[in-house]
Structure 1
Amino acid sequence: MPFAATHLAQPPSRETVDQWLGPTVLEFGTPWCGHCQRAQPLIEQALEDRDDVRHVKVEDGPGQRLGRSFGVKLWPTLVFLRDGRETARLVRPQTAQSIHEAVQGITATTG
Protein backbone atom coordinates (compact mmCIF):
# COMPACT_ATOMS: atom_id res chain seq x y z
CA MET A 1 0.00 0.00 0.00
CA PRO A 2 2.00 3.01 -1.21
CA PHE A 3 1.60 6.70 -0.30
CA ALA A 4 -1.97 7.60 0.68
CA ALA A 5 -2.96 10.99 -0.73
CA THR A 6 -6.15 11.44 1.31
CA HIS A 7 -7.21 11.04 4.92
CA LEU A 8 -9.36 8.09 5.90
CA ALA A 9 -13.07 8.83 6.21
CA GLN A 10 -13.14 6.76 9.41
CA PRO A 11 -9.91 6.15 11.35
CA PRO A 12 -9.16 2.68 12.64
CA SER A 13 -9.39 1.95 16.35
CA ARG A 14 -6.25 1.71 18.46
CA GLU A 15 -7.02 -1.98 18.99
CA THR A 16 -7.01 -2.52 15.22
CA VAL A 17 -3.75 -0.61 14.76
CA ASP A 18 -2.09 -2.60 17.55
CA GLN A 19 -2.92 -5.83 15.68
CA TRP A 20 -1.54 -4.79 12.28
CA LEU A 21 1.33 -6.93 11.07
CA GLY A 22 4.28 -5.58 9.14
CA PRO A 23 5.54 -2.02 8.66
CA THR A 24 3.08 0.88 8.97
CA VAL A 25 3.38 4.66 8.87
CA LEU A 26 0.54 6.46 10.63
CA GLU A 27 0.36 10.09 9.56
CA PHE A 28 -1.64 12.41 11.82
CA GLY A 29 -2.69 15.83 10.53
CA THR A 30 -5.41 17.67 8.63
CA PRO A 31 -5.92 18.67 4.99
CA TRP A 32 -5.87 22.38 5.89
CA CYS A 33 -2.70 22.34 8.04
CA GLY A 34 0.12 24.28 6.35
CA HIS A 35 2.83 22.16 7.99
CA CYS A 36 1.04 19.03 6.77
CA GLN A 37 0.77 20.38 3.23
CA ARG A 38 4.49 21.24 3.14
CA ALA A 39 5.40 17.74 4.36
CA GLN A 40 3.38 15.88 1.70
CA PRO A 41 6.07 15.87 -1.02
CA LEU A 42 8.65 14.66 1.52
CA ILE A 43 6.40 11.84 2.73
CA GLU A 44 5.50 10.85 -0.82
CA GLN A 45 9.16 10.81 -1.85
CA ALA A 46 10.17 8.68 1.14
CA LEU A 47 7.36 6.17 0.52
CA GLU A 48 7.74 6.00 -3.25
CA ASP A 49 8.21 2.41 -4.40
CA ARG A 50 7.50 1.12 -0.87
CA ASP A 51 4.59 -1.19 -1.55
CA ASP A 52 5.70 -3.15 1.53
CA VAL A 53 4.74 -0.28 3.87
CA ARG A 54 1.17 0.51 4.91
CA HIS A 55 0.64 4.31 4.93
CA VAL A 56 -2.43 5.45 6.82
CA LYS A 57 -3.35 9.13 6.82
CA VAL A 58 -5.50 9.98 9.84
CA GLU A 59 -7.30 13.30 10.19
CA ASP A 60 -6.62 14.45 13.72
CA GLY A 61 -8.19 17.01 15.99
CA PRO A 62 -10.07 17.50 19.25
CA GLY A 63 -11.88 14.38 20.36
CA GLN A 64 -10.06 12.10 17.92
CA ARG A 65 -9.22 9.07 20.01
CA LEU A 66 -6.51 7.51 17.86
CA GLY A 67 -4.38 10.65 17.89
CA ARG A 68 -4.86 11.05 21.63
CA SER A 69 -3.89 7.42 22.24
CA PHE A 70 -0.56 8.14 20.51
CA GLY A 71 -0.09 11.45 22.35
CA VAL A 72 -0.11 13.53 19.15
CA LYS A 73 0.26 17.24 19.87
CA LEU A 74 1.61 18.77 16.63
CA TRP A 75 0.92 18.08 12.96
CA PRO A 76 2.05 16.32 11.01
CA THR A 77 3.18 13.57 13.31
CA LEU A 78 4.42 10.38 11.67
CA VAL A 79 4.33 7.28 13.86
CA PHE A 80 6.35 4.34 12.53
CA LEU A 81 5.06 0.94 13.57
CA ARG A 82 6.31 -2.58 13.12
CA ASP A 83 3.78 -5.27 13.94
CA GLY A 84 1.61 -2.75 15.77
CA ARG A 85 4.41 -1.39 17.99
CA GLU A 86 5.84 2.10 17.70
CA THR A 87 9.53 2.11 16.81
CA ALA A 88 10.02 5.76 15.80
CA ARG A 89 8.22 9.08 15.53
CA LEU A 90 8.80 12.24 13.52
CA VAL A 91 7.04 15.50 14.29
CA ARG A 92 6.98 18.04 11.46
CA PRO A 93 9.65 16.27 9.42
CA GLN A 94 11.91 18.59 7.44
CA THR A 95 13.56 16.14 5.03
CA ALA A 96 12.60 13.10 3.00
CA GLN A 97 15.82 11.51 4.26
CA SER A 98 14.65 11.55 7.88
CA ILE A 99 11.41 9.85 6.86
CA HIS A 100 13.28 7.37 4.66
CA GLU A 101 15.57 6.44 7.57
CA ALA A 102 12.59 5.81 9.86
CA VAL A 103 10.97 3.67 7.14
CA GLN A 104 14.20 1.70 6.85
CA GLY A 105 13.96 1.03 10.58
CA ILE A 106 10.54 -0.60 10.29
CA THR A 107 11.35 -2.57 7.14
CA ALA A 108 14.83 -3.83 7.99
CA THR A 109 14.97 -7.58 8.43
CA THR A 110 16.27 -8.91 11.68
CA GLY A 111 18.75 -11.69 11.55
Structure 2
Amino acid sequence: MTTYATEQPRRETLDATQGPTVVIFGTDWCGYCRAADRYIAPALAEHPRLPVHAVEDGRGRALGRSYRVKLWPTLIFLRDGVEVARVVRPSRRQEIDEALATVTA
Protein backbone atom coordinates (compact mmCIF):
# COMPACT_ATOMS: atom_id res chain seq x y z
CA MET A 1 0.00 0.00 0.00
CA THR A 2 1.21 3.47 -0.88
CA THR A 3 2.11 5.62 2.11
CA TYR A 4 1.82 9.33 1.48
CA ALA A 5 4.57 11.36 3.18
CA THR A 6 3.68 14.55 4.99
CA GLU A 7 7.12 15.99 4.15
CA GLN A 8 7.09 17.18 0.57
CA PRO A 9 9.94 17.86 -1.79
CA ARG A 10 10.21 21.44 -2.95
CA ARG A 11 8.89 22.21 -6.44
CA GLU A 12 12.29 23.64 -7.34
CA THR A 13 13.91 20.32 -6.42
CA LEU A 14 11.51 18.36 -8.64
CA ASP A 15 11.96 20.85 -11.49
CA ALA A 16 15.73 20.26 -11.30
CA THR A 17 15.58 16.45 -11.35
CA GLN A 18 17.37 14.58 -14.09
CA GLY A 19 15.76 11.59 -15.76
CA PRO A 20 12.36 10.10 -14.95
CA THR A 21 10.50 10.72 -11.69
CA VAL A 22 6.95 10.06 -10.51
CA VAL A 23 5.07 12.19 -7.99
CA ILE A 24 1.86 10.75 -6.54
CA PHE A 25 -0.57 13.03 -4.73
CA GLY A 26 -3.16 11.62 -2.34
CA THR A 27 -3.77 10.73 1.30
CA ASP A 28 -3.63 7.54 3.34
CA TRP A 29 -7.33 7.83 4.22
CA CYS A 30 -8.64 8.49 0.68
CA GLY A 31 -10.88 5.71 -0.62
CA TYR A 32 -10.01 6.50 -4.25
CA CYS A 33 -6.30 6.28 -3.39
CA ARG A 34 -6.75 2.93 -1.69
CA ALA A 35 -8.76 1.56 -4.61
CA ALA A 36 -6.22 2.78 -7.20
CA ASP A 37 -3.30 1.32 -5.25
CA ARG A 38 -4.10 -2.12 -6.71
CA TYR A 39 -3.00 -0.69 -10.07
CA ILE A 40 -0.32 1.75 -8.92
CA ALA A 41 1.76 -0.53 -6.67
CA PRO A 42 2.32 -3.41 -9.13
CA ALA A 43 3.02 -1.05 -12.03
CA LEU A 44 5.65 0.86 -10.06
CA ALA A 45 7.11 -2.36 -8.67
CA GLU A 46 8.22 -3.23 -12.20
CA HIS A 47 10.40 -0.09 -12.18
CA PRO A 48 12.34 -0.38 -8.89
CA ARG A 49 14.95 2.21 -9.87
CA LEU A 50 12.40 4.87 -10.75
CA PRO A 51 12.29 7.63 -8.12
CA VAL A 52 8.77 7.92 -6.70
CA HIS A 53 7.53 10.61 -4.33
CA ALA A 54 4.16 9.79 -2.76
CA VAL A 55 3.13 12.98 -1.01
CA GLU A 56 0.13 13.85 1.11
CA ASP A 57 -1.99 16.50 -0.52
CA GLY A 58 -4.70 18.76 0.80
CA ARG A 59 -5.50 22.25 1.99
CA GLY A 60 -2.38 24.30 2.59
CA ARG A 61 -0.14 21.97 0.58
CA ALA A 62 1.63 24.15 -1.96
CA LEU A 63 3.19 21.36 -4.04
CA GLY A 64 -0.14 19.92 -5.16
CA ARG A 65 -1.45 23.37 -5.99
CA SER A 66 1.64 24.13 -8.07
CA TYR A 67 0.77 21.08 -10.24
CA ARG A 68 -2.95 22.02 -10.24
CA VAL A 69 -3.97 18.77 -8.57
CA LYS A 70 -7.74 18.61 -8.07
CA LEU A 71 -8.49 14.89 -7.50
CA TRP A 72 -6.70 12.05 -5.73
CA PRO A 73 -4.76 10.09 -6.55
CA THR A 74 -2.99 12.08 -9.22
CA LEU A 75 0.24 10.69 -10.65
CA ILE A 76 2.56 13.19 -12.32
CA PHE A 77 5.26 11.67 -14.54
CA LEU A 78 8.30 13.92 -14.93
CA ARG A 79 11.28 13.68 -17.26
CA ASP A 80 14.10 16.08 -16.44
CA GLY A 81 11.70 18.04 -14.23
CA VAL A 82 9.05 18.52 -16.93
CA GLU A 83 5.63 16.89 -16.82
CA VAL A 84 5.27 14.41 -19.70
CA ALA A 85 2.21 12.48 -18.51
CA ARG A 86 -0.52 12.61 -15.87
CA VAL A 87 -2.93 9.97 -14.62
CA VAL A 88 -5.87 10.97 -12.43
CA ARG A 89 -7.84 8.36 -10.47
CA PRO A 90 -6.63 5.39 -12.50
CA SER A 91 -9.29 2.75 -13.03
CA ARG A 92 -7.03 0.26 -14.76
CA ARG A 93 -3.34 -0.53 -14.83
CA GLN A 94 -2.97 0.18 -18.53
CA GLU A 95 -3.23 3.94 -17.90
CA ILE A 96 -0.25 3.80 -15.55
CA ASP A 97 1.77 1.48 -17.79
CA GLU A 98 1.31 3.84 -20.74
CA ALA A 99 2.49 6.82 -18.70
CA LEU A 100 5.44 4.82 -17.38
CA ALA A 101 6.40 3.90 -20.96
CA THR A 102 6.34 7.59 -21.87
CA VAL A 103 8.54 8.66 -18.97
CA THR A 104 11.02 5.77 -19.13
CA ALA A 105 11.42 5.67 -22.94
Interval containing the TM-score (normalised by the shorter chain):
over 0.9
Runs of 4+ in 1 over 3 A off after TM superposition: none
Matches within 5 A, 1:92-107: 92-107=89-104
Q: Is 1:80–2:77 an aligned residue pair?
A: yes
Same amino acid, percent of matched pairs: 51
Report if aligned partners of 1:76, 1:92 keep a CA contact under 8 Å in 2.
yes
The Cα of 1:53 is off from its aligned counterpart by 1.3
Unaligned runs of 5+ in 2: none
TM-score, L = length of structure 1: 0.89
Q: State how 1:29-40 maps to structure 2 within 5 Å.
A: 29-40=26-37
> Partner letter of residue 2 of structure 2?
A
Q: State the TM-score, normalizing by the size of structure 2.
A: 0.94
> How many residues align structurally?
105
5+ unaligned residues in a row in structure 1: which ranges?
A: none
2:26–2:33 CA contact under 8 A, matched in 1: yes
